[in-house]
Amino acid sequence: MINKAEYTKRRKQLMQKIGSHGVAILPSASLACRNGDYNYPFRQNSDFYYLTGFEEPEAVAVLIPKHKNGEFILFNRPKNRDEEIWEGVRAGQEGARKEFGANLSYPMTELEKRLPELLEGRNEIHYTLGLNGAFDKILLDAINKIRGKIRAGLHSPISFIDITETVHEMRLIKSPAEIAIMRRAANISVDAHIRAMQACKPGINEFQLDAELQYEFQTQGARFPAYTSIVGSGGNSCILHYVNNNQIIRNGEVVLIDAGCEYQNYASDITRTFPANGKFSPEQRAIYDIVLKAQKAGIKKIRPGAPWPVVQEIMVKIITQGLLDLGLLKGNLRNLIENKAYFKFYMHKSGHWLGLDVHDVGRYKVNHKWRTFQPGMVLTVEPGIYISSDLPGVPKRWHNIGVRIEDDILVTTKGHEILTEMLPKEIDDIEALM
């Protein structure tokens, strides 16, 4: 659990960054209709959650450095017994102050009335325009109200600054408490993958393995996956974000599972590929060996100061060489890399940041230069080779082999730690496990 003091510290840090002339505004996520009068399960906006720990919809956080009445103002739903009987308990205004550290809390219905007085006198509004049209309008109306009173001496804000830049840079470096949660998320996902691998046999449906994953997630306290689980057998292993998960798994096919739980709102993201019948065929083994070698080499490059692209560069080199050795690419290694000949087999990047979002926030380039790794960053390394049956010029025996191997890596002061290391990925270990 992230404690109250850490949320306070994050808000203080943010307020320090925006300065005493600024004001930050963050709306919560909204409920979204699934069908009829039912909603999707609510998931808080990650930036809002990062700064408040507050998990209810219909809320707005206003952070006003050095404001005379308090710096953290939360608009949220008031207590309402009738509605709470149907939908669950709410913090209400008292809870917002006592449990979540708000200096002031008002019912959401007072937002439009109170917003002008909170913005008045500030120069910069730190807010992300364009994500929430309804709230953009509320905010612009509030500014117009202040503009209408400048003859009375009121000062209207001058500029908008995108708050995501500031918050996302903070989110990029994980605190010890966040790392502890991500470790737990990783461990649960490791168990889920092991469970699915052991449950696999030819003749069952992909959705049965999806259910095994979900069972392990939920029984260990992770209610939802961090993204829709990918369980692709045979040709489906070559569809990068395959989510139908509804085909029969056949003898002789590979199964690619890309799945990770969300634990206390933090994501994990693991991929393993294994033979449906528990024994790799020579072709599956050959492709798997290349991807595994590439992944290990990519991970090895991760240490403080190393720039992002070194991971992809080494993996592209190993994958291209491997495909050359198998005769699936022909020509000269350097030319093949330069011309991106590998791209028809390996068409994505080496990975992404991981955190509250599976494709987590934070820039990959700063001032047009690739970012270098720093302790506290978490990222995935996930090379793959995908040979779909419609790939021109590839002999049939290689068809429908899609292999991806993905782990979650924490950058440490000394180098890195593989958070998902406990999940086997050596061929012998996978065969033994199955």
Window 369 to 408, contacts with ligand GLY (CB under 6 A): 382, 406
- Quick count: other Cβ atoms within 10 Å of Cβ 132? 17
Closest CB 153 distance from ligand GLY, rounded Å = 53
Nearer CB in complex with Mn ion: 116/260: 260
Give the nearer residue to Mn ion in terms of CB position, either 56 or 407. 407
CB 303 within 8 A of CB 409: no
Nearer to Mn ion, 26 or 379 (CB): 379
Nearest 5°: phi and psi at 68? Answer: -65, -30
CB 273 within 8 A of CB 405: yes
71 versus 382: smaller Cβ distance to ligand GLY = 382
Which of the choices ligand GLY, Mn ion, none does residue 12 contact, using the CB cut-off of 5 to 8 A by kind? none
Give the one entry of Mn ion, ligand GLY, none that residue 160 binds, where binding means its C-beta sits below a cut-off of 5 to 8 angstroms depending on kind: none
SS3 state of residue 184: helix
d(CA 247, CA 238): 14
d(CA 217, CA 223): 6
Antiparallel, parallel or unpaired: β 230-233 and 254-259: antiparallel
Angle at 276 between CA 349 and CA 405, to 5 degrees: 20
> Could you give the CA distance from residue 5 to residue 225 in angstroms, rounded to a whole number?
28
Active site residue 283: no
227 touches which of ligand GLY, Mn ion, none (CB within 5 to 8 A by kind)?
ligand GLY
Question: Of these residues, 71, 210, 216, 406, which one is catalytic?
Answer: 406
Q: Give me 222's structure tokens.
A: 């992770």
First-to-last C-alpha distance (Å) of the chain: 34
The reply on whether position 269 binds ligand GLY by CB under 6 A is yes
**Residues 334 to 363 in contact with ligand GLY, rule: CB under 6 A:** 352, 358
Give the nearest distance from C-beta 355 to ligand GLY in angstroms: 13
Helix 111-119 / helix 133-147 crossing angle, nearest 10 deg = 60
Q: Which of 90, 97, 114, 348 is catalytic?
A: 348
Q: Which of 114, 195, 303, 352 is catalytic?
A: 352
- Out of 206, 210, 258, 262, pick the active-site residue: 258
Nearest distance, CB of residue 231 and ligand GLY, angstroms: 12
Considering beta carbons, is residue 160 or 227 the nearer one to ligand GLY? 227
Contact region for Mn ion (CB under 5 A) — 149-157, 322-330, 336-344, 377-385?
Answer: 377-385
Active site residue 382: yes
408 is catalytic: no
Q: Supply the minimum distance, in Å, between the C-beta of residue 271 and Mn ion.
A: 5
Catalytic: 406? yes
- Give me 212's structure tokens: 């095994």
Active site residue 357: no
Dihedral pair phi/psi, residue 325, rounded to 5° = -60, -35
List the interface residues with ligand GLY, window 102-131 (CB under 6 A).
Answer: none
Q: Which of 8, 227, 278, 415 binds ligand GLY (CB under 6 A)?
A: 227
Check binding of 56 to ligand GLY (CB under 6 A).
no
CA distances from 30 to 59, 135, 256 (A): 9, 11, 34
Partner that binds at residue 344, options ligand GLY, Mn ion, none, CB closer than 5 to 8 Å by kind: none
C-beta of residue 322 within 8 angstroms of C-beta of residue 290: yes
**122: three-class secondary structure by DSSP:** coil
Count, residues near Mn ion per rule CB under 5 A = 4
CA–CA separation, 384 vs 232, rounded Å? 14
Q: Residue 48 CA to chain centroid, in angstroms?
A: 15
* Spatial distance between the Cα atoms of 305 and 299, rounded to a whole number of angstroms: 14
Residues 386-425 that bind Mn ion (CB under 5 A): 406
Give the residue with the Cβ less far from ligand GLY, 62 or 259: 259
Quick one: 166 or 229, whose CB is closer to Mn ion? 229
Q: Is 71 a catalytic residue?
A: no
What is the rounded distance in angstroms from the CA atom of residue 326 to the CA atom of residue 316? Answer: 15
The first and second tokens of residue 247, run together, are 């085909």
Q: Of 210 and 269, which CB lies nearer to Mn ion in the complex structure?
A: 269
Is 386 a catalytic site residue?
yes
Q: Which residues contact 369 (CB under 8 A, 6 or more apart)?
A: none
Q: Does 380 bind Mn ion (CB under 5 A)?
A: yes
Cα 407 from chain centre: 14
**Residue positions annotated with a catalytic role:** 37, 241, 258, 269, 348, 352, 359, 382, 386, 404, 406
The residues binding ligand GLY (CB under 6 A) are 227, 258, 269, 352, 358, 382, 406
The residues binding Mn ion (CB under 5 A) are 258, 269, 380, 406
